[in-house]
Chain A
Amino acid sequence: MALRHLLSIEEAETADLRLIMETARSFQDVIGRPVKKVPALRGRTVVTLFYEASTRTRTSFELAAKYLSADAVNIAVAQSSVTKGESLKDTVRTLEAVTADCVVMRHSSSGAPHLAAGMLGIPVINAGDGRHEHPTQALLDAVTIWDAWAPGLGKRVGVDAPDFTGLRVAVVGDVAHSRVARSNAWLLTRLGAEVRFVGPATLMPADASLLPATVHSDLRSGIDGAHVVMVLRLQTERQEAGLLPTAREYSRIWGVNRSSLAAAHPDALVMHPGPMNRGVEIAPEVADGLAGHSSAIETQVRNGVAVRMACLYLLMGSAAGEVL
């Protein structure tokens, strides 16, 4: 693998992204076993450095590290020396000095993992930076879609390489502030899909011309014929910032529910990166797969661990010794 760090989908080689997805497939099998541990990264240390609160992503990385037999150390920055004014540079250099082998980083500033990567000799994995990217989320979403859809758009049965040609994906909601939307747009289009950003004008990127997606403010035409409907979380701050009148109006116009889903492909897969606001951006029966479409939300979480195992394994793997 050419990749030294996983900072963004946009900058990564497609071949490396495919390799991560294919490797994640093998780890799906591992975490399906009663004994999930493999010795691949025994004796190595993964530090998760989270400048933003997160339960699911941090836990997912921690489990991934542990299933690979690595030691995982979690640093929640809100309680650390950063609150005493320590700079990012000093923090990450300290981690390297105490012999961490990989840093998994979440930060509210777009580009912060790039900065860290430039200062470190060890791999940096971006676990979400500001509004920019969340590459492992896109990879786990792509693996989930790969499991559900095959080329030619029949339901998949054991396809060896991800090929999303002909697949239409609608990303619905607060795209402007979403790192999930950006990473998914880059990854899914690399794999052949068409991506649409759907939502109110105030929550769309100011200028999407350098992003690989088209922009639609009308929900029904935006998700028309979509094979995948990816719903984004609506933060209540958007209302306070004057970007929306009310959650009620948002839900009425852009909420994904049984009625609006009628425009999508009959076998459409509904996804959500979580955590959900049930009844706001997504109707409860849709989230639970009870509205006539399948919901992949729990599968996404499970695939998250496999994808993160693949990332850790491939980025830290050169000295990893025996595998699986």
Chain B
Amino acid sequence: MRLVLRGGRVVDPANGIDRLADVVIDGDRIETVAEPGIAADGCEIDVAGKVVAPGFIDLHVHLREPGFEYKEDVESGTKAAAAGGFTAVCCMPNTNPAIDTPSVVTAILERARQVGSCRVYPVAALTRGMAGDQLSEIADLLAAGACAISDDAYPIQNSETMRRGMEYIAQFGALLMTHNEDKALTVGGVMSEGAHSSAMGVPGIPAASEDVATYRNIRLSELTGCRLHLLHISTAGTAGLLGWAKGRGLAVTGETGPHYWRLTDAACRGYYSNAKMNPPLRSEADRVAVKEALVSGVIDAIATDHAPHAPYEKEREFDKTPFGILGLETAFGIAYTDLVASGLLTLSELVYKMSAAPAAILGVPGGSLAPGGPADVVVLDTEARWTVEPDRFRSKSRNTPFSGAELQGRACFTVVGGRVVEA
């Protein structure tokens, strides 16, 4: 059974394509990207005026299942992903139970097969119960289908534990994703330390707490040969360290999210809990440096750190409300508005950072419209202007700082493994 996406502008940076073309899908594979008007049998979708691109891959999502299904689950989270143009998401291991045994990996993959609207790549915990002591059974976790290993949400503080963990992971050629934070420097901090935290009387998290941990992790990656991916880069210092690591030829990559280039710690004013996440929104200088590092390619990929929380959890005192904001349904609109419509990046460069780059970091298929590859495609309307209305989100949660933002560009629908998923 063929599916033809006819008449769109095909933007496939991995293959150097940016032109009007028809995309022919056969079963779950891309058959060809051909000149417009190719004769092909099967179901046709007219996508004239739209952009056809490899489906986006989010390296950093909290699907909350198992254990926190009141915030999000595989079904709602992948619906939100599809609505945002994503055809695959990595889900972080801070569930309950944590993704620290093969059975949890298997269960999530099974849920994704049953109710998922996109592919799901579980990320397994580096240590058992994310407690930072004993290593998880990493070989078994990888064999069960974990795409990477991470200490996200519970960053490893003991440098020896991290070193041995990296050595252990490296022998399997697997990827470690680190949340870079020196917890001793964070103390009770709940927002970035600076002029705003000082005026608000809120305990601060210095940018140095991210940079110190980043430097350690990069040096340990060099020591052990472990492939390292820096999660949610928020500081000028960490962006600079990533550039330094790449200059030394190390196997280190990095991501940042729309909130880090669009907002600063000033957004926390009024004790606004939807501006609270970890790492926190930083200073204007950090915001500018992170955006520049993303534009220049030092930071490889855009990831959302989609972190759903129930409304009642975000309606608490600023220091008691949990860290984290939604991201899947606003990421492309913000990225297109801030980076492409503003002229900083071409559409092809943006698509690369949301598809081919994350695919390469993970070493998974996708991120490309090459014939024979998986038919994971997003169709985008880059002219659409829309206003962020959290009540229309597919996510179960509403914790976005972008409510009311006026954006340009959104996903119309995705194709996952040849199957059309309505946005």
Residues 243-281 of B at the A interface (beta carbon under 8 Å): 270-271
Chain A residue total in the interface (Cβ 8 A)? 27
User: Are B318 and A211 neighbours in the complex by a CB distance under 8 Å?
Assistant: no
Asked, given contacts A130-B201, A131-B201, whether A210 binds B318 with beta carbons under 8 Å apart, the answer is no
**Chain A-chain B contacts (Cβ-Cβ < 8 Å), number:** 73
Asked, given contacts A207-B193, A210-B195, whether A110 binds B315 with beta carbons under 8 Å apart, the answer is no
Residues 312-328 of B at the A interface (beta carbon under 8 Å): 312, 315-320
Q: Shortest Cβ distance from B6 into chain A, in angstroms?
A: 51
In whole angstroms, how far apart are the Cα atoms of A115 and B273 in the complex? 10
Residue of B nearest to A134 (CB): B201
User: Are B195 and A107 neighbours in the complex by a CB distance under 8 Å?
Assistant: no
Q: Which B residues touch A207, using CB under 8 A?
A: 193-195, 197-198
**Interface 1/0s, chain A 157-171, versus B by CB < 8 A?**
000000000000000
Q: Which A residues touch B398, using CB under 8 A?
A: none
Q: Which A residues touch B7, using CB under 8 A?
A: none
B200 on interface, CB distance cutoff 8 Å:
yes
User: Are A87 and B315 neighbours in the complex by a CB distance under 8 Å?
Assistant: yes
In whole angstroms, how far apart are the Cα atoms of A87 and B206 in the complex? 29
Residues 155-202 of A at the B interface (beta carbon under 8 Å): 176, 179, 182
Asked, given contacts A182-B199, A206-B206, whether A109 binds B194 with beta carbons under 8 Å apart, the answer is no
In whole angstroms, how far apart are the Cα atoms of A10 and B200 in the complex? 10
Q: Shortest Cβ distance from B192 into chain A, in angstroms?
A: 10
Q: Which B residues touch A182, using CB under 8 A?
A: 199, 201
B394 on interface, CB distance cutoff 8 Å:
no
B196 on interface, CB distance cutoff 8 Å:
yes
User: Are A115 and B195 neighbours in the complex by a CB distance under 8 Å?
Assistant: no
In whole angstroms, how far apart are the Cα atoms of A205 and B194 in the complex? 9
A112 on interface, CB distance cutoff 8 Å:
yes
**Interface 1/0s, chain A 1-33, versus B by CB < 8 A?**
000000000100000000000000000000000
Q: Which A residues touch B320, using CB under 8 A?
A: 109
User: Are B318 and A109 neighbours in the complex by a CB distance under 8 Å?
Assistant: yes
The 11 listed contacts between A and B (C-beta, < 8 Å) are A109-B319, A110-B271, A111-B200, A115-B316, A129-B201, A176-B198, A206-B194, A206-B204, A206-B206, A207-B193, A208-B198
- Contacts A109-B320, A111-B270, A206-B197 aside, 13 further interface pairs with beta carbons under 8 A come to A88-B316, A88-B317, A109-B318, A109-B319, A110-B271, A112-B317, A114-B271, A115-B318, A130-B202, A206-B194, A207-B194, A208-B198, A209-B195
| 9 A-B pairs with least C-beta separation | A111-B271, A132-B201, A131-B201, A109-B317, A205-B198, A210-B195, A110-B201, A210-B199, A207-B195
